[in-house]
């Protein structure tokens, strides 16, 4: 997939994203428009439509005694909230409309769900003020900069101003960066928890997951009443456009930005900019390609700057599968096998290698979210993107993640069950990386990194804020955050057990089995008792009864940790931790890692820190180098010397023999046990560690060691994979430094000479 150009800036993206609230609307050609108090992006958009545009501030509009013009449209976005007399302003705008004219009004809802989640009121800078109706007894009205209104108040104002006909659209996340609109009576077809990212002016006080609340609001018929914002068509006559739902993607840049408009009988995908026509042609070609291969698709056709499809009133594939997963596992397995077969049938097979089947033309969006379940089969739509030579399991991985993100109940099997069923476990990280890289590039996450950091509420922000309420053992989110933060605390001389034998346990053991002596693996599945994982026996929780509660700790290595936590709580387990594969454990990596464990190294750490203090700290504290280091030579020594000159403590990760065979497809000349001892004996290396076979990349190493800098040879300086790792490290406050490649000597040259029998 060709992504957005590198010259795209955050400012340009944000400017274009603000156009979303109007960009989907169909203005009649030749119309004249009055925009009241519009920002620069909206004015720019309307001028680009080559319509006659007049701009006035609310103050200018009220002060004009007479305006002779009448307008086809008057646009007022976030204007009503900032005027002292909204009714007067509405009456003026109503009088300035032609008989068939429309007022397009954008207003915030003071009962919007975001304010219940902790969003600050933009006009009082307080919390819950709008929800309470701005009581004068609690608020200093002299310092208010405006006020929001509830829907019934907006209805009354419009009725009184002479605009009896109205059509409301609920806007997500809000008017500033509108991305989804739903007309009255229309609701999201998919679980918003899987596809929607809330936006806040300030995210530091948010204490609820807004996206998780919408299902309940919809079921209780409260979705529209508690929308964050409204877009309203208001007029004297009922002549509204035929639009039920709109989805916009202006955050994707000019080449990929699309607007999807759902009407009563037709669905249209429209390009936002001329650069997007190639994407529209790709959509048409990919849909035809699937149909040619016998894959059911929604019929469509290109028509100017849009692709038209019939509106289909059917359940989305991910909704069907996620519901099925909660009540009939056998049927779900059959349907999931069918879905996998469709992915395989969607392309010719380029080859089969260690990553599974490689598709000649991989449609990476061939996932349940982009399908209907209709008459017993999956029918696909919106296939814009293809990647040549894509592992089939990447699409299957994305499909499973989407299904599990859409769950409304308890799954009858874990996602790990299907990773095992489809033989995906060994290369899960690779599949996840490809998926993440695709989405990150598509959604410009790198460009919008700072914006998202300030305005999106993360799991850790929400859980941190919940603690301010003095959370209890019944608040599972507070419990989760606490268990994550204390995962590696209180181990000391205690026996350590881990609970679970799936993917999370696999990664924990791969990463930490040398740092801690694992006494055993606990699992509720009796069929696994007696088996081993990394040489550690799997057993039942009965083994805990042999020990005093002070003598051991249990770390839960299961994604759905809640039932396990309560089980351990019932067993009177005193010390419990929680391991999550994507969590950055604060403080855990402040020590200098080694085989002796955290508590045993404290004296050494204190002495080391004292030496640093006396000698003066170098540019970096902890440095990291990864490599095979087969046939150790001067180039390796030079790299270690340069690295040690730049950091206080140097960790060198050494690839295992299995890792060499798997990743380089060759046999090392020197076995791992000897290679790591050679590295360990180098005066510049403070610690040599084994790199796990599967969890061997920079992100896993960084999560474990929290190094300040990674060093590598300059032969990887322009490698896309290494540049991606550089971006990852930079985003976490660390660096990646490339040292000049040693030209005269290298392992490859030495091996070549050996093979040629010239040594």
Asked if pLDDT for residue 139 goes beyond 90, the answer is no
In the prediction, which pLDDT does 616 show? 54
- The pLDDT score that the predictor gives to residue 754 is 55
- Given this structure, which CATH class describes domain 606-755? alpha beta
Tell me, what's the pLDDT at 756? 57
Return the percentage of the chain with pLDDT > 70, whole number.
89
Fold of the 25-193+204-242 domain:
Rossmann fold (3.40.50)
Residue found under tokens 């700290």: 617
pLDDT in tens, 35-84: 998 788 888 888 888 889 999 988 888 887 667 889 999 999 999 998 98
Task: In whole angstroms, give the CA distance from residue 612 to residue 407.
Answer: 52
- Give pLDDT tens digits for 406-418: 887 888 998 989 9
pLDDT(374) > 60: yes
- Provide the CA 667 distance to its chain's centre, in angstroms: 38
* Range in 268-277, 295-304, 685-694, 733-742 with the lowest mean pLDDT: 733-742
pLDDT tens, position by position, 80-91: 998 989 999 999
For 570-598, the pLDDT digits (tens) are: 899 999 999 987 777 754 343 344 334 44
The pLDDT of residue 32: 93
Q: How much is the average pLDDT of 592-616?
A: 47
Output the CA torsion 340→342→348→354 (10° steps): 0
Contacts of 192 (CB under 8 A, 6+ apart): 172, 211, 214, 215
Q: Are 358 and 391 in contact (CB under 8 A)?
A: yes
The answer to whether the 25-193+204-242 and 470-578 domains have the same CATH topology is yes
Full-model pTM = 0.64
Q: Does 381 or 6 have the greater pLDDT score? A: 381
Residue 16 has pLDDT above 80, yes or no: yes
CB 388 within 8 A of CB 382: no
Query: Where along the chain do its domains lie?
Result: 25-193+204-242, 252-457, 470-578, 606-755
Strands 709-713 and 620-627: parallel
621-677 tens-digit pLDDT: 889 999 999 888 888 888 999 999 888 899 999 998 888 887 767 788 889 999 999
Angle at 83 between CA 78 and CA 86, to 5 degrees: 90
State how far the alpha carbon of 103 is from the alpha carbons of 96, 100, 129, 230, 238, in Å. Answer: 10, 10, 28, 13, 12
301-303 β-sheet, strand order? 52-56, 32-36, 71-77, 97-108, 229-235, 165-172, 180-183, 245-248, 258-262, 266-271, 306-310, 301-303
Please state which CATH number belongs to domain 470-578: 3.40.50.20
Please give the mean pLDDT across all residues of the chain: 85
Q: How confident is the model at residue 486 (pLDDT cuts 50, 70, 90)?
A: confident
pLDDT in tens, 671-712: 999 999 999 999 999 999 998 877 788 888 888 888 889 998
Q: Tokens for 604?
A: 């050494």
């Amino acid at each position: 997939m060709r992504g957005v150009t590198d010259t795209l800036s955050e400012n340009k993206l944000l400017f274009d994203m603000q156009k979303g609230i109007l960009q989907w609307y169909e203005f009649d050609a030749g119309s004249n428009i009055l925009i009241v108090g519009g920002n620069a992006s909206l004015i720019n958009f309307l001028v680009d439509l080559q319509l006659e545009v007049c701009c006035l501030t609310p103050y200018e509009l009220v002060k004009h005694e007479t305006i002779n013009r009448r307008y086809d449209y008057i646009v007022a976005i976030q204007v009503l909230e900032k005027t002292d007399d909204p009714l007067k302003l509405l009456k003026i705008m109503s009088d300035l409309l032609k008989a068939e004219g429309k007022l397009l009004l954008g207003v915030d809802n003071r009962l919007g769900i975001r304010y219940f989640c902790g969003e600050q009121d933009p006009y009082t800078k307080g919390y819950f003020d709008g929800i309470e109706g701005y009581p004068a007894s609690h608020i200093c009205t002299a310092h208010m900069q405006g006020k929001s209104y509830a829907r019934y108040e907006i209805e009354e104002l419009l009725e009184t101003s002479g605009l009896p006909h109205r059509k409301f659209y609920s806007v997500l996340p809000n008017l500033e960066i509108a991305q989804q609109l739903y007309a009255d009576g229309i609701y999201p077809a998919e679980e918003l928890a899987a596809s929607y990212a809330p936006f806040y002016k300030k995210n530091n006080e948010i204490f609820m997951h807004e996206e998780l609340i919408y299902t309940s609001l919809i079921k209780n018929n409260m979705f529209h009443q508690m929308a964050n914002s409204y877009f309203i068509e208001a007029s004297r006559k009922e002549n509204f456009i035929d639009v039920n739902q709109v989805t916009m993607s202006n955050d994707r840049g000019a080449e990929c930005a699309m607007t999807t408009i759902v009407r009563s009988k037709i669905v249209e995908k429209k390009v936002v900019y001329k650069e997007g026509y190639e994407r529209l042609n790709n959509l048409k070609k990919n849909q035809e390609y699937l149909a040619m291969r016998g894959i059911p698709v929604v019929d469509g056709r290109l028509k100017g700057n849009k692709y038209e499809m019939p509106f289909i009133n059917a359940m989305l594939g991910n909704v069907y599968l996620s519901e099925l997963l909660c009540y009939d596992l056998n049927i779900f397995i059959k349907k999931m096998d069918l879905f996998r077969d469709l992915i395989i049938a969607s392309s010719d097979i380029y080859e089969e290698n260690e990553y599974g089947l490689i598709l000649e033309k991989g449609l990476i969006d061939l996932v349940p979210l982009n399908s209907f379940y209709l008459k017993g089969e999956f029918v696909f739509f919106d296939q814009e993107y293809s990647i040549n030579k894509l592992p089939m399991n990447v699409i299957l991985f994305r499909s499973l993640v989407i299904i599990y993100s859409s769950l409304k109940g308890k799954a009858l099997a874990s996602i790990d069950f299907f990773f095992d069923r489809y033989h995906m476990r060994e290369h899960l990280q690779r599949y996840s990386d490809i998926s993440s890289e695709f989405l990150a590039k598509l959604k410009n996450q790198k460009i919008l990194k700072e914006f998202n950091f300030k305005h999106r509420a993360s799991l850790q922000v929400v859980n941190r804020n919940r603690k301010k309420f003095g959370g209890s053992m019944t608040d599972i989110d507070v419990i989760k955050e606490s268990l994550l933060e204390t995962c590696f605390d209180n181990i000391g001389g205690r026996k350590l057990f881990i609970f679970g034998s799936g993917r999370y346990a696999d990664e924990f053991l791969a990463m930490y089995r040398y740092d801690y002596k694992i006494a055993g693996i606990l699992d509720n599945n009796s069929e696994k008792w007696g088996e081993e994982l990394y040489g550690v026996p799997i057993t039942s929780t009965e083994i805990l009864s042999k020990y005093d509660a002070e003598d051991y700790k249990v770390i839960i290595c299961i994604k759905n940790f809640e039932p396990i936590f309560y089980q351990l709580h019932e067993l009177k387990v005193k010390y419990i931790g929680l391991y999550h594969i994507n969590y950055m454990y604060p403080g855990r990596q402040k020590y200098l890692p080694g085989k002796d464990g955290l508590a045993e190294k404290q004296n050494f750490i204190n002495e080391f820190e004292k030496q640093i203090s006396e000698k003066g700290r170098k540019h970096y504290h902890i440095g990291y180098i990864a490599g095979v280091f087969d046939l150790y030579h001067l180039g390796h020594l030079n790299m270690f010397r340069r690295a040690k000159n730049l950091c206080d403590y140097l960790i060198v990760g050494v690839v295992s023999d299995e890792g060499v065979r798997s990743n380089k497809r060759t046999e090392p000349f020197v076995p791992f046990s000897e290679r790591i001892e050679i590295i360990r004996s180098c005066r510049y290396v403070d610690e040599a560690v084994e790199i796990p076979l599967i969890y061997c990349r920079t992100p896993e190493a960084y999560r474990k060691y929290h190094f300040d800098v990674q060093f590598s040879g300059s032969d990887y300086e322009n490698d896309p994979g290494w540049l991606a790792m550089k971006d990852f490290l930079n985003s976490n406050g660390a660096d990646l430094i490339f040292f000049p490649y040693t030209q005269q000597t290298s392992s490859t040259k030495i091996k070549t000479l050996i093979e040629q029998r010239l040594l």
